[in-house]
Amino acid sequence: MERHNYGVIGLGVMGRNLLYNIADNGFSVAGFDLDVEKVKELHAGATPGTTVLGTASLEDFVSALETPRKIILMVPAGKPVDAVLGSITPLLSKGDIVIDAGNSYFKDTDRRIAELASKDLHFMGMGVSGGEQGARRGPSIMPGGDLQAFNHLQPMLEAISAKVDGEACTAYMGKGSAGNYVKMVHNGIEYAIMQLISEAYDLLRKGANLNNDQLYQVFKTWNEGEMNSFLIEITRDIFQQKDDLTDGYLVDQILDKAGAKGTGKWTSEQAMEIGVSIPTIDIAVTSRILSAYKDERVQASQLYSKNEISTPENTELFIKEVGDALYLATLISYAQGLALLVKASEEYKFEIPLKDVVKIWRGGCIIRSVLLEKFYQAYSKDKNLSNILLDKAISEIVKDKISSLRKTAAFAASNGISGLGIQTTLGYFDAYTTESLPVNLIQAQRDYFGAHTYQRIDREGVFHTSWKTSNN
């Protein structure tokens, strides 16, 4: 029997598309899924001339692969991954490589690496971003972990990934579960940018009374300039989509309750756990949670009616300011996510190459944008940059746009339009760029009621004071 170069387990849309992408790039691929229909359909969907085999059992699947076997799991994160590993590992041989390409939690990956290593098997966590189309035509791929295993995969990953200026959007992301961690943070940033875009939309429709056709034009113009990015591009297109069931646009018929699968929440939890401030991502997560309380929001909106919105005098200027605010807040969201990666790299000894992270996010993934090119330049100058806001060239962009962020946040606040992401981002920026924060007072309070001690600005050491109370 002919041995295939790669195997894919999980033939849902993402798994099937990734499998076809691998096959299109000249590799032979075998696929397996518990759903026999998906296995049967596999061959028919492949590009003519490519070598794709659907296998009916895990035993057939394993024997259809050359050794060391390279098996990509495209199954939902969590229990399904452990279930597949439980079934397949007894069939594998020493040196075989299993790659989990789902959005797995990085600590699960660490555990699985150890479990498979005890059986002389390699296990890798690999982030894949780009949705269905990305998987088929070129995603951004974030592999990490076992270097020996990575070396086997590298030529294939470079072939199937998106390309920017001829460079593949894939690179080694670091040790252990770094691949999953980088993808998790990618998703956290994705949440933040989506939140900010939704707020810009709200300001434009409620503040400037723009209709969907006008919104389409605004996003089209934004996408043609410095804000060019996947998320701005798809938002542009959303404003054009007519509804099949009514006369209007689809976006106006969609219920305002956001779903979430958990990667944004993990990013926030992680930042709290290792002590990194990423409030735009936090607010994006909690804002989706708040959106789900629709009934209560309806009730509260009746109880607390809002004043009429004061429409800006100069609509064109307002649109420009909202655009600049969105651009800057987006930049600061990336800054927060990247700062988390810097700290995580130290904390978990991942050795994440930040320069490569921003390089491979330039294409294929959901948060791809031309802005990443500027971050790439920043990390090319200083690979140890702790926060991209500290880069000189980036600081020039920030200075140019900050007044728009202030005006936009103020417009939202004074008109009662929720600007959770925009306002939080501004607050983060102001705190991050403040030499002297008022937390000296917090330290005094902590020492007052709990003898928690404090440090002084004029001498070394740790101090405690018997504070004078109103009773003494």
Among 129, 177, 330, 369, binds ligand 6PG (CB under 6 A): 129
Q: Which residue is nearest to ligand 6PG (CB)?
A: 129
Site of tokens 């991942």: 350
Among 76, 131, 416, 427, binds ligand 6PG (CB under 6 A): 131
Q: Give me 235's structure tokens.
A: 């938002």
23 — phi, psi (to 5°)? -65, -40
Q: Give me 466's structure tokens.
A: 């018997």
* Rounded CA separation 435/447 (Å): 22
| HSE toward the beta carbon, residue 406, CA cutoff 13 A | 8
Q: Give me 78's structure tokens.
A: 């969590």
Question: Does the annotation count 183 as an active-site position?
Answer: yes
One character per residue 249-288, x = contact with ligand 6PG (rule: CB under 6 A): ----------xxx-xx------------------------
Among 344, 366, 389, 426, binds ligand 6PG (CB under 6 A): 366
* Rounded CA separation 319/407 (Å): 12
Among 22, 98, 322, 365, binds ligand 6PG (CB under 6 A): 365
- At residue 125, the 3 state secondary structure works out as strand
CB of 39 to ligand 6PG, least distance (A): 24
* Rounded CA separation 374/381 (Å): 11
Nearer to ligand 6PG among residue 95 and residue 131 (C-beta): 131
* Rounded CA separation 65/4 (Å): 5
Nearer to ligand 6PG among residue 260 and residue 410 (C-beta): 260
Nearer to ligand 6PG among residue 125 and residue 264 (C-beta): 264
Nearer to ligand 6PG among residue 99 and residue 366 (C-beta): 366
* Rounded CA separation 40/153 (Å): 27
Question: Does the annotation count 346 as an active-site position?
Answer: no
CB of 462 to ligand 6PG, least distance (A): 43
CB of 434 to ligand 6PG, least distance (A): 33
Site of tokens 């518990």: 34
State yes or no: residue 130 binds ligand 6PG (CB under 6 A): yes
Residues 91-110 within binding reach of ligand 6PG (CB under 6 A)? 103
CB of 363 to ligand 6PG, least distance (A): 13
CB of 11 to ligand 6PG, least distance (A): 18
Choosing from 70, 175, 183, 265, which is the catalytic residue? 183
Buried-exposed string 99-137: b where 16+ CB fall within 10 A, e elsewhere: bbbbbbbbebbbebbeebeeeebbbbbbbbbbbeebbbe
CB atoms within 10 A of CB 463: 11
Active-site positions read 183, 190
Residues found near ligand 6PG in the complex (CB under 6 A): 103, 129-131, 187, 190, 259-261, 263-264, 365-366
